[in-house]
Amino acid sequence: MAYCTLFLFTLLALASSQAFASDPSPLQDFCVADNSSKVFVNGVVCKDSADVKPEDFFFSGLDKAGDTTKNLVGSNVTLVNVQRLAGLNTLGISIARLDYAPNGGLNPPHTHPRATEVLTVIEGTLYVGFVTSFPNFKLFSKVLNKGDVFVFPEGLIHFQFNIGNVPAVAFAGLSSQNPGLITVANAVFGSNPPISDDVLSKAFQLDKKTVDWLQAQFSNNN
């Protein structure tokens, strides 16, 4: 009988741990981030509700086009996450404006480790896609025009590429207050300190000279 009780208790404990494996639901109306706090938690500490102002829930500027000339890929992402909009804390959502230069502006292959992304094209024509995980690595891609929507599942590598001859604009909603970003090429070839070229040359089946050249290109996060 004691073993049965212990077994049931263990099952309940495991079930509880799984139930709380993702972000918990808010336990109050809001939890505005206190970005000045020195306390480190999984998220951001709440400021005193007596100090909360309407401005904590407000951001202005997504009507302005991002500068797509500042990098070699020809795109600009204006992300509004909890660091830029404190009222997002604990709400599990953020938003971004994406601008793409004409004739090849690219948001290069990347992942958001903590968020699903839903993209809406506002202007222009984009070729977009994502790749599934091992073992299939299947590409799901589509050409999107103004008003079209595409979703990128959480954690999967995805991209957007402007195939039109005019600038393109899209807005993205992300299912995290802090979705995170891992750009594949930058992470692999631009890490600090660099990954050993012995590792990269074998992993990518490249000679070390090519690996060294790639690391030089991405060392400044171009």
Q: Model confidence over 166-219: pLDDT tens digits?
A: 999 999 999 999 999 999 999 999 999 999 999 999 999 999 999 999 999 998
pTM: 0.85
| Whether the bond into 193 is cis, omega within 30 of 0 | yes
Contact 82, 128 (CB under 8 A): no
Do residues 125 and 198 share a domain? no
CATH number at residue 79: 2.60.120.10
17 in a structural domain: no
Which domain, by its residues, includes 96?
Answer: 54-180
Distance (Å, whole) CA 98 – CA 84: 16
Q: How many domains does the chain have?
A: 2
Shared domain for 173 and 195, answered yes or no, is no
Tell me the pLDDT tens digit for each residue of 126-157: 999 999 999 999 999 999 999 999 999 999 99
pLDDT at 43: 83
Whether the ω angle into residue 135 lies within 30 degrees of 0, i.e. cis, is yes
pLDDT of amino acid 85: 97
**How high is the pLDDT of residue 7?**
45
Is 10 inside any structural domain?
Answer: no
Domain presence at residue 160: yes
Residue 183, Ramachandran bin (φ over 0: left; ψ between -120 and 50: alpha; else beta): beta
Q: List, for residues 68-122, the tens digit of each pLDDT value.
A: 999 999 999 999 999 999 999 999 999 999 999 999 999 999 999 999 999 999 9
Q: Can you give the pLDDT at residue 19?
A: 46
3-state SS, the chain, equals CHHHHHHHHHHHHHHHHHHCCCCCCCCCCCCCECCCCCCCCCCCCECCHHHCCHHHHCCCCCCCCCCCCCCCCCEEEEEECCCCCHHHCCCCCEEEEEEECCCCCEEEEEECCCCCEEEEEEECCEEEEEECCCCCCCEEEEEECCCCEEEECCCCEEEEEECCCCCEEEEEEECCCCCCCEEHHHHHHCCCCCCCHHHHHHHHCCCHHHHHHHHHHHCCCC
18 pLDDT above the threshold of 60: no
Give the whole-angstrom CA distance, residue 123 versus residue 94.
Answer: 21
Q: What is the pLDDT of residue 28?
A: 83
Beta bridge partner(s), residue 128 = 142, 160
State phi, psi for 188 to the nearest 5 degrees. -80, -45
* Residue 118: strand pairing partners: 151, 173
Same domain for 73 and 107, yes or no, is yes
The answer as to whether 192 is a domain residue is yes
Is 174 within a domain?
Answer: yes
Contact 126, 141 (CB under 8 A): no
Q: Is residue 83 domain-shared with residue 135, that is, in the same domain?
A: yes
Predicted confidence band at 20 (pLDDT cuts at 50, 70, 90)? very low
